[in-house]
Homo-oligomer: A and B are copies of this chain.
Amino acid sequence: MQGKQGRPAYRQIAEDLSAQIEDGSLPEGARIPSESELREDYGVSRIVVRQAMELLASQGLISKERGRGSFVRPRGPKETRIVGDFYGKRHTGSPFAAAVKAAGQRPEWDYQTRETTASPAVAERLGIEAGDAVMRTTYTFFSDDQPVMLSTSYEPLAITRGTPVEHPEAGPVTGVVARMDSIGKVITHVTEETVARSARNMERESLDVPEGTPVFAIARTYFAGDEAVETADIVVSADRYKLKYRVPLPPPGEQPDSK
């Protein structure tokens, strides 16, 4: 085993196992030989095996479970989070529920709504003053009882106060677009700023993902003309989700009219 080619032993072992996962000799969910077994198979010390396994775990290929063993991580078909005017329709209702149902799974969510004041960051995104009243709603979304997405949304109460949709989930209509439509705020566009980073500890608990798994952190804002009517921080496991956007382009020859 001793790396003649200059490649360290633990990398060779990792590549070997990685290849077996790739070609299917180690199928999804399969148990990987224990550290002691691998130690004998490759004739190295346990620390080398551990380094190899940690490398694979950090790449998301395997999950290590204390007391049980290590397993090939399922990489099933990714769920999709869709943004944009698919088929020219305004998505009323919950886009999340629609996407999950389309994948043949059961959508559910918990939420908690509370009136509070805008932090400077939120105020900046909403174009209001820090300290202004906002309605904050935190969501946890489930797909077949698995938590898959977290969201914290903020709506300026200057817009919704006293209307039937003041409370995001308790009113007669659901979904930001439809709710705002119903009070005369016609949403014209949405912006999203997305970064990928490793999950924070709180998010790891809520989403039940192993350490180091990357997540998408999305800052989404809905606009009615130049006025921001809702903004949200959304976190989804980048492992299980892919993002899908469909963006129409304006026809050529026209001049811009928005500032």
Are the C-beta atoms of A88 and B254 separated by less than 8 Å?
A: yes
Are the C-beta atoms of B59 and A198 separated by less than 8 Å?
A: yes
Q: Does A78 contact B (CB under 8 A)?
A: yes
Distance between Cα atoms of A204 and B192 in the complex (Å):
27
Q: How many copies does the complex hold?
A: 2
Which of B212, B249, B254 meets A188, CB within 8 Å? B249
Are the C-beta atoms of B249 and A189 separated by less than 8 Å?
A: yes
Are the C-beta atoms of B198 and A58 separated by less than 8 Å?
A: yes
Among A26-34, A36-44, A120-128, A237-245, the one that faces the other chain is: A237-245
Known: A193-B242, A193-B243; 15 extra A-B contacts, CB below 8 A, are A60-B197, A83-B245, A87-B259, A90-B249, A90-B250, A181-B252, A188-B248, A189-B249, A190-B249, A192-B244, A192-B247, A194-B245, A196-B216, A197-B214, A212-B212
Q: Which residues of A are at the interface with B, using a C-beta cutoff of 8 A?
A: 58-60, 78, 80, 83-85, 87-90, 177, 181, 186-198, 212, 214-216, 238, 242-252, 254-259
